[in-house]
């Protein structure tokens, strides 16, 4: 069922009418609206979760991207409940590496509201309600010329962290360029991205259509289920390789056929579905792009692999594992990276049939990103000692016991954020000693050089 509501009219509505709109949004499957520019958009109502309780926020983004100038002009319509007051702006943090996001205006249910953008944090003044509100943020993002997670290299642009993201429980973006310096609540996404003809868009979402208008094309996406964020790559002339794993269509986008990596991803997807639970989306995209120092990077439904390096199958498997540990079950990647990175590494070991490779890092594994001081120390501790922690948990709980715990976490926290203490509580029930610490592992001489 579809009903039309004119966006401009929201500004003239009285309170009861706005409540009526909120009610419609909460009960009708899809409500198309008209944004300020007069282009129709669709706001799907937040659906209830499996327990019929929580409603996820809905991000409805319309944006135009000009790869020539690197400028994105966007309008974000966010339908949600509770506090919609603080947004993270990764583009303006060290993560953005010279990117810059500006805000042109903010409206709540059609009424202009005060806002304050300070660096990588946008504060919006709006009242907390139990009803669904629609927040409209008009923004522009300048994408830097750089091989970065938000950057343009030649004809290829990677767009991740390019729009305002609702802050999960007030968490801020970490002030470092390494690791995953921000995280987000799961949300439904509908995105329309307009680019010049000749460019293609591959996203961590399902492509639902492409519209033509003169010398531009508008690519329409829907996430199908909640995802942590919407990332995409804009480029030309991809060679596309495709395979299927049950209901999931896996596609590789690169300058050459990538059948080996695709086969690895397919096997990993099937393996992790068996041990952790279903992968609900019908898409998983692997895209080769210049990524600077990174071998790979995970986004929901979208795996980026560095096109300037030989692709390591372990990196492919690691990034597939992140679809469960980061996307389906979220965690605080700024302060508790031992959960998602440690589990991505542990999952990779499981996939390749390896056993405990006791890692040794120079610091505890549960520090904030800033406390690791640099990328090398962060990687050494969080990946290697993070893996060692999970191997220790396997020894204490047994391999089957640990898999029971991980599967239970996937069921309990799917589309939510799990805290480290909650993970430890599950592990303790299966035999992890109560006094276990986030080990301060000894460091070897070779590794000491990385400090
Ligand atoms: Zn990782």
- Mean pLDDT, rounded, for 9-17: 39
Residue 393 has pLDDT above 60, yes or no: yes
Contact (CB, 8 A) for 269 and 250: yes
How far is the centre of ligand 1, averaged over its atoms, from the C-alpha of 269 (Å)? 16
251 or 84, higher pLDDT: 251
163 or 35, higher pLDDT: 163
How far is the centre of ligand 1, averaged over its atoms, from the C-alpha of 298 (Å)? 7
How far is the centre of ligand 1, averaged over its atoms, from the C-alpha of 30 (Å)? 35
Q: Record the tokens describing residue 117, joined without a space.
A: 């953008």
How far is the centre of ligand 1, averaged over its atoms, from the C-alpha of 316 (Å)? 10
Residue 43: HSE in the Cβ half-sphere, 13 Å Cα cutoff:
32
Strand partners, 72: 65, 141
How far is the centre of ligand 1, averaged over its atoms, from the C-alpha of 322 (Å)? 7
Q: Model-level pTM?
A: 0.84
Specify the pLDDT at position 368. Answer: 76
How far is the centre of ligand 1, averaged over its atoms, from the C-alpha of 332 (Å)? 13
7-230: CATH topology: Immunoglobulin-like (2.60.40)
Specify the pLDDT at position 44. Answer: 44
Query: Domain limits of the chain?
Result: 7-230, 238-323, 332-451
Specify the pLDDT at position 239. Answer: 95
How far is the centre of ligand 1, averaged over its atoms, from the C-alpha of 4 (Å)? 42
Q: What is the Cα gyration radius of the chain?
A: 22
Specify the pLDDT at position 54. Answer: 57
Residue 25 has pLDDT above 80, yes or no: no
- Separation CA 402–CA 429 (nearest Å): 10
Which has the closest alpha carbon to 357: 333, 404, 331, 389?
389
Please give the share of the chain, as a percent, with pLDDT higher than 70: 81
Contact (CB, 8 A) for 85 and 126: yes
* Cα torsion through 188, 194, 195, 199, rounded to 10: 60
Confidence of residue 18 (pLDDT cuts 50, 70, 90): very low
332-451: CATH topology: Neutral Protease; domain 2 (1.10.390)
The bridge status of strand 302-306 relative to strand 283-289 is parallel
How far is the centre of ligand 1, averaged over its atoms, from the C-alpha of 362 (Å)? 19
* Cα dist from 279 to 224, 247, 342, 415, 423, whole Å: 12, 9, 20, 12, 21
DSSP secondary structure letters along 378-440: HHIIIIIIHHHHHHHHHHHH-HHHHHHHHHHHHHHHTTEE--HHHHHHHHHHTT--TT-----
Confidence of residue 378 (pLDDT cuts 50, 70, 90): confident
How far is the centre of ligand 1, averaged over its atoms, from the C-alpha of 86 (Å)? 26
Q: Kindly report which listed range (113-117, 187-191, 329-333, 334-338) carries the lowest average pLDDT score.
A: 334-338
Q: What is the DSSP letter of 279?
A: -
* Cα dist from 47 to 128, 168, 326, whole Å: 20, 19, 21
CB-proximal residues (5 Å) to ion ligand 1: 341, 344
Residue 233 has pLDDT above 90, yes or no: yes
How far is the centre of ligand 1, averaged over its atoms, from the C-alpha of 376 (Å)? 14
Taking only the tens place, the pLDDT of each residue in 310-362 is: 999 999 999 999 999 999 999 999 989 899 999 999 999 999 986 544 444 55
Chain-centre distance of CA 108, in angstroms? 25
Taking only the tens place, the pLDDT of each residue in 30-74 is: 333 333 343 334 444 444 444 444 579 999 999 999 999 999 999
Highest-pLDDT range among 40-44, 152-156, 349-353, 375-379: 152-156
How far is the centre of ligand 1, averaged over its atoms, from the C-alpha of 61 (Å)? 27
- Mean pLDDT, rounded, for 416-435: 89
238-323: CATH topology: Zincin-like (3.30.2010)
Specify the pLDDT at position 317. Answer: 96
């Amino acid at each position: 069922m579809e009903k039309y509501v004119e966006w401009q009219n929201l500004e003239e509505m009285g309170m009861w009418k706005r409540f009526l709109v909120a009610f419609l949004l909460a009960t009708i499957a899809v409500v198309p609206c008209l944004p300020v520019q007069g282009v129709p958009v669709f706001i799907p109502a937040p659906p209830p979760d499996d327990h019929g309780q929580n409603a996820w926020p809905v991000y409805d983004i319309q944006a135009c991207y000009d790869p020539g100038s690197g400028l994105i002009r966007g309008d974000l319509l966010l339908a949600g409940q509770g506090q919609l007051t603080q947004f993270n702006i990764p583009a303006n943090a060290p993560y953005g590496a010279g990117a810059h996001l500006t805000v042109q205006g903010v409206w709540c249910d059609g009424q202009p509201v005060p806002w304050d953008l300070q660096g990588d944090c946008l504060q919006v003044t709006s009242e907390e309600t139990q009803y669904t509100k629609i927040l409209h943020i008009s923004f522009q993002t300048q994408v830097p010329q750089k091989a970065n997670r938000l950057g343009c290299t030649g004809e290829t642009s990677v767009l991740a962290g390019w729009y305002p993201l609702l802050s999960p429980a007030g968490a801020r973006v970490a002030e470092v360029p390494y690791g995953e310096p921000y995280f987000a609540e799961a949300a439904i996404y509908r995105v329309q991205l307009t680019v010049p003809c000749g460019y293609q868009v591959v996203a961590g979402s399902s492509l639902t259509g492409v519209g033509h208008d003169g010398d531009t094309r508008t690519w329409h996406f829907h996430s199908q289920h909640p995802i942590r964020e919407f990332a995409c790559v804009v480029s030309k002339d991809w060679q596309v390789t495709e395979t299927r794993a049950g209901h999931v269509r896996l596609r590789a986008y690169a300058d050459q056929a990538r059948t080996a990596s695709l086969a690895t991803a397919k096997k990993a997807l099937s393996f992790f579905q068996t041990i952790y639970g279903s992968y609900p989306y019908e898409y998983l995209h692997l895209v080769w792009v210049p990524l600077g120092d990174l071998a790979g990077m995970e986004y929901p439904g979208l795996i980026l692999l560095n096109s300037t390096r030989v692709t390591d199958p372990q990196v492919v498997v690691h990034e597939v594992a992140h679809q469960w540990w980061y996307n389906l079950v979220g965690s605080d990647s700024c302060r508790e990276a031992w959960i998602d990175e440690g589990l991505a590494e542990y999952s990779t070991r499981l996939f390749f049939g390896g056993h405990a490779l006791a890692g040794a890092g120079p610091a505890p594994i549960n520090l904030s990103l800033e406390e690791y001081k640099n990328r090398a120390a962060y990687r050494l501790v969080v990946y290697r000692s993070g893996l060692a922690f999970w191997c220790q948990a396997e020894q204490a709980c047994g391999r089957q016991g640990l898999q029971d715990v991980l599967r239970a976490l996937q069921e309990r926290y799917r589309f939510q954020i799990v805290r480290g203490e909650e993970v430890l509580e599950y592990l303790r029930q299966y035999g992890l000693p109560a006094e276990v610490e986030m080990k301060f592992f000894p460091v070897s001489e070779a590794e000491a050089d990385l400090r």
